Amino acid sequence: MSKFLASKSNKHLHKWGFKDSGFKSIGDKVVKFSGDRYEVSGTEMPDFIPYIEKMLNIEIEDKDKLKEVDEKFVSPSRVDEKFYQELEKVFENDKYTIENTERLIHSHGQETFKDIYKVLYKSIDRLVDLVFYPESEEDVRKIIEVALKHNVCLIPYGGGTNVTRALSVPENEKRTVVSIDTRRLSKIEWINKEDRRVCVEAGITGKNLDELLEKEGFMIGHEPDSVELSTIGGWIATNASGMKKNKYGNIEDIVENVHLVTPKGEINQIKPISRGSIGFKPQNMLFGSEGNLGIITKAILKIHERPEAQEYNSVLFKSWGEGVTFLKKLSKTNYIPASVRLVDNIQFRFGQALKPRAGGLKKIKSKIEKFLVTNVKGFDPDKMCALTIVMEGTSEEVSYQKKKINKLAKSCKGMIGGSGNGKRGFMLTYAIAYVRDFVSDYQIMGETMETTVSWSNIQNVINAVSEKLNELHSLYKMPGKPYVSYRIPQIYHTGVCIYFMLGMSVKGIEDPEEKFSKIEHTLREVIIKNGGSISHHHGVGKLRKDFLPNTLSETSMQLVQELKLAHDPQNIFGAKNGILAK
């Protein structure tokens, strides 16, 4: 078995994604995306930096670049001596470490302000004291037993992509804190092709699972933006959603059984059930449990034959309102595609800024297309928005969807943009995640917020967030202009998910991570006040804990608190996320 170590992997140690990929400045304000993993890899982007400068009303200069801390501060490991001595007796020594780099990696997720900004440019005060790498469910049982004996705090760790500070050590935690890295639990235990189920260990990443299932002709269909890096256990613990949920479902629709090891034993169904009326269903408590109850070791998931046909498409609309009208009408039909995503004008222009500069015949073709769209069809470049579509299934299903969607789009005054633009727009999702770390070097902070909103409140939430951001930008005397854009990546019977992208220059601002964090918190208040939810798929963690009273009744929260107290009275799983963040 591979002895996985985060510091030896091909991932960035602290930033997002892989070491061979990312936006790199190559001079004269031209940016190139490195590596060969993505559609945009190798592309030179002369319009990317000018786009940012225009949107933020600033000038990006090399002299303003922040220097990442080379020798990162690492607080001393405070491992209980007797606990460590028992580890030495019970486990092989390559299953645990107090090495500083591993401890630092496992003490944060990918939240911008308190996690990434601090670890790159300042320091994190409190780190986990030891990292443990279980290789079997028996290892998990044993480490919990040893933790109980010595009153040690355990925090489960999957792919490290969490953005709600769920992986950070709680303030005032005085005990030894151990990060339980599950990524050596990465096997498929069995596949039942007739029943279309797979039993898989919880530490496998989505990408690796898909590669293994592809050899058998199957797939899960769950594709969050983080699919390359995030794990099955993490999907369950955060109640995740994927880009193709319309066809394959959200994670709670995909999982038929979860195995959780806790201080009191194991929580699971004896067998997976397609659907059962069995009274209380304890495993439902595990979706969104965020490491508070135990360690997810494996799950049984539904699998699908890989689609016979896949086709991309795109639609241009003259306004955001027309695009929303299309989505609402689409939600009432029987031909909703695997993925449909509407981006506003600012994100549409952002996508255009990531294109290479056209030359030769491509340049001529581009000018003709632009003339057709703007001059002949009457689309305003500063108002138009775009929709990307992914259709999967049999050839007949895809053909039917395409025909019906095109007809509906045209009835909503949309212009069909074609498969090339659709594929590019969909695939850009994976590369866009690298933008934050590139711009942060130039003292620009960016973050995302997602929420679930009913159809009737879409515009209320968008308007309120945009207005409040402008107000807060002035209040904190930030330079330039604030950036806010939004997209709808998921539609439901009663509403949608809105995904906001925020950004602003923090050049010359003292403690910018603290101020930006306050801005994000206030915007979340605004979202909830105007009918949005705490989160659609990122979870609560420690970042959004203050908003739970707006979502759950006091007795509902008390139910969870009492369950935690009865099941883990020593608070061995002391991550203190969500309801238990106090």
Mean pLDDT of 333-344: 98
How many residues are present in the chain?
582
Residue 175 has pLDDT above 90, yes or no: yes
> Using CA of residue 573, residue 576, residue 580, residue 582, what is the dihedral sign?
positive
Domain extent for 487: 435-537
Amino acid letter for position 232? I
Residue 376 has pLDDT above 70, yes or no: no
Question: Residue 358's pLDDT is what?
Answer: 65
Coil/strand/helix, residue 88:
helix
Contact (Cβ atoms closer than 8 angstroms) between residue 218 and residue 192: no
Query: Of 247, 274, 305, at which residue does a domain stop?
Result: 305
In this predicted model, what pLDDT tens digit does every residue of 35-62 receive, in sequence order?
Answer: 999 999 999 999 999 999 999 999 999 9
Tell me how far apart the alpha carbons of residues 463 and 152 are, in angstroms, rounded to a whole number: 47
Tell me how far apart the alpha carbons of residues 299 and 200 are, in angstroms, rounded to a whole number: 6
Question: Do the domain assignments include residue 228?
Answer: yes
Question: Residue 378's pLDDT is what?
Answer: 77
Task: Indicate which residue of 96, 133, 312, 499 is catalytic.
Answer: 499
Which residues on adjacent β-strands are paired with residue 25?
31
Tell me how far apart the alpha carbons of residues 264 and 573 are, in angstroms, rounded to a whole number: 12
Same domain, 521 and 444: yes
Query: Catalytic annotation on 430?
Result: no
Look up the CATH number of the domain holding residue 203.
3.30.465.10
In this predicted model, what pLDDT tens digit does every residue of 378-389 receive, in sequence order?
Answer: 789 899 999 999
* E runs forming strands in 177-294: 177-181, 188-192, 197-201, 218-219, 255-262, 265-267
Give the CA radius of gyration of the chain.
Answer: 24
Element at 462 (helix H, strand E): helix 458-475
Residue 305 has pLDDT above 50, yes or no: yes
In this predicted model, what pLDDT tens digit does every residue of 246-290 receive, in sequence order?
Answer: 999 999 999 999 999 999 999 999 999 999 999 999 999 999 999
Element at 347 (helix H, strand E): helix 345-353
Query: Of 166, 183, 200, at which residue does a domain stop?
Result: 183
Look up the CATH number of the domain holding residue 530.
3.30.300.330
Same domain, 316 and 420: yes
| DSSP one-letter string for 374-390 | IIIS---TTT-EEEEEE
Question: Do the domain assignments include residue 480?
Answer: yes
Question: Do the domain assignments include residue 261?
Answer: yes
Same domain, 388 and 416: yes
Contact (Cβ atoms closer than 8 angstroms) between residue 253 and residue 543: no
Total structural domains within the chain:
5
Amino acid letter for position 110? Q
Same domain, 196 and 173: no
| DSSP one-letter string for 528-555 | HHTT--S-SSS--TTTSGGGGGGTS-HH
Same domain, 194 and 293: yes
Instruction: Calculate the CA 135 to chain-centre distance.
Output: 26
Look up the CATH number of the domain holding residue 117.
3.30.43.10
> Using CA of residue 366, residue 367, residue 372, residue 373, what is the dihedral sign?
positive
